[in-house]
Amino acid sequence: MQEQTLGLAHFWQAGDAVTKSVAYLLLVMSIISWYFILSKAWSAWRLRRGARAALEKFWAAKSLDEAIATLRADDKEGVFLPLAVKAHQAASFRPDASLAASVDRSELVTRSLRQAINQVASRLESGLTFLASVASTSPFIGLFGTVWGIYHALVNIAGAGQVMIDKVAGPVGEALIMTAAGLAVAIPAVLAYNAFTRVNRIALAELDGFAHDLQALVTTGSRVVAGHGDALRTGVVPAPALSPQRVGH
């Protein structure tokens, strides 16, 4: 009978508005964290699964238009496609009387690729700030619930005049549960943040290499990075041969 009385339902009923607010806050943080964890894990799996095949088909195409069409079909996460589209648009740009006319084509392509990389990076990193915030704050939120539970236990002891297990079991149970809840929310968020940060770092490195190849392709008409196979023939009129610049983000 005692075990049934001191169950989770008993601790919940014994809690006050502050304790329940902390529990609800941790629950909301956990739900949102798991939403980001599952959605980003699915995106990362699709990216790693289809990236290699998509790039192989891209470089096997006979024209840049055909290559972009293959990316539209195979790049499910839209990571490499924006770079190819931006590079093609920049290479096909015909200067007029605007300020853009004074910009070298190679520089225009580089700037377009850098902008595309920044946009893709922002999309890949969405949700990571929330996971980091949850990982760093939820243990302290749980600790606040722990302190509040201990405070209740001390108040009950003072009111009873002596230590009685039925007076302190509820508040102490609240304190332990809040500690466990804070850790249960924080640990998955920490692990997911570290894992997704590594996945994004690898993806951005691949994007950087792909952008470097694209910049060389649309400005010189061939790929200059060793080990990537034959150059892709395109219908784009090449700009004067310039040393391709490394595209950062």
Structure tokens at 94: 């015909």
127, 40 contact by CB (below 8 A): yes
Alpha helices in the chain (DSSP H): 2-5, 8-14, 17-60, 64-74, 81-91, 105-124, 128-160, 165-220
The span from the CA of 39 to the CA of 58, in Å, is: 27
- State pLDDT tens for residues 159-191: 666 656 665 666 677 778 888 889 999 999 999
- State pLDDT tens for residues 113-165: 888 899 999 999 999 999 999 999 999 998 888 888 787 777 766 666 665 66
Predicted TM-score (pTM) of this structure: 0.73
Domain segments of the chain as ranges: 16-93+105-220
Structure tokens at 117: 């990389």
pLDDT band at 196 (very low <50, low <70, confident <90, very high): very high
204, 188 contact by CB (below 8 A): no
Residue 212: its H or E element = helix 165-220
Least confident of 1-5, 188-192, 214-218, 244-248: 244-248
